[in-house]
């Protein structure tokens, strides 16, 4: 039991006050972003921009370059998704509705996964980080999150499945790297994401049934 507490909480001795505030601020806005996403609200993007901007710095200090690139990509996709979600028709209805992925979308997802994994692999190779086992895990997670964020911007219900899978794999990695609050944060994100997937799926079914 003592070893358990030492593993999770002993790492806080290396935390500075500034770093702790940054991590908690990033977590707070990230949590807001996922809640707004589950509610299908465009506020997912401004809150997400704040969170990802801070996490880029945090992950850089932890040498998690794959997750750093994920958050930099999130920042870009938040701007892109914000634009897509804000488009209205003449009756001020959203032009972009919740839909399911098509066969063409799946091919694009595969392409995004391959390109992202290759790109992150090059980054880790450049920094000579592939001598660490977690670098391979981080690379794989990056591919899942890249797909999830692209599908979120396109308002595809399956975005949640990729994000949930990435979250579950990332949780033990964050604990291992000493990002304790971030690890617990991702546990909460996974729970919200499950509810978000169910909510979006119900919305999609209602739209299909509505003539």
pLDDT value for 197: 95
pLDDT value for 168: 94
Is residue 2 one of the residues assigned to a domain? no
Is residue 162 one of the residues assigned to a domain? yes
pLDDT value for 9: 47
Is residue 144 one of the residues assigned to a domain? yes
The answer to whether 132 and 64 are in contact (CB under 8 A) is: no
Is residue 167 one of the residues assigned to a domain? yes
Place of tokens 């996922």: 34
Is residue 3 one of the residues assigned to a domain? no
The answer to whether 169 and 187 are in contact (CB under 8 A) is: no
Structural domain count, the chain:
1
The answer to whether 181 and 27 are in contact (CB under 8 A) is: yes
* Domain hosting residue 43, numbered range: 16-91+99-209
Q: What is the pTM of this model?
A: 0.82
Is residue 179 one of the residues assigned to a domain? yes
10-residue averages of pLDDT along the chain (211 residues): 50 66 88 91 92 84 72 85 87 84 95 91 79 84 91 95 94 83 87 93 82 54
Is residue 64 one of the residues assigned to a domain? yes
pLDDT value for 211: 54
C-beta atoms surrounding 80 within 10 Å: 15
pLDDT value for 165: 95
Is residue 69 one of the residues assigned to a domain? yes
């Amino acid at each position: 039991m003592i070893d358990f507490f030492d593993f999770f909480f002993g790492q806080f001795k290396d935390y500075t006050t500034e770093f702790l505030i940054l991590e908690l601020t990033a977590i707070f806005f990230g949590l807001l972003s996922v809640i707004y996403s589950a509610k299908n609200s465009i506020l997912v993007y401004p809150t997400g921009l704040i969170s990802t901007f801070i996490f880029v710095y945090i992950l850089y200090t932890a040498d998690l370059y794959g997750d750093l690139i994920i958050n930099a990509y999130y920042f870009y996709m938040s701007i892109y998704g914000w634009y897509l979600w804000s488009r209205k028709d003449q009756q001020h209805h959203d032009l972009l509705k919740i839909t399911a992925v098509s066969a063409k979308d799946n091919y694009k997802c595969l392409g995004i996964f391959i390109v992202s994994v290759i790109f992150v692999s090059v980054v880790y190779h450049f920094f000579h980080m592939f001598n660490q086992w977690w670098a391979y895990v981080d690379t794989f997670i990056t591919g899942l999150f890249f797909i999830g964020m692209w599908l979120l911007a396109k308002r595809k219900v399956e975005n949640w499945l990729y994000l949930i899978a990435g979250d579950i794999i990332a949780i033990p990695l964050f604990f291992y790297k000493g990002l304790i609050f971030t690890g617990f944060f991702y546990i909460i994100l996974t729970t919200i994401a499950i509810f978000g997937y169910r909510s979006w799926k119900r919305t999609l079914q209602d739209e299909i049934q509505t003539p």
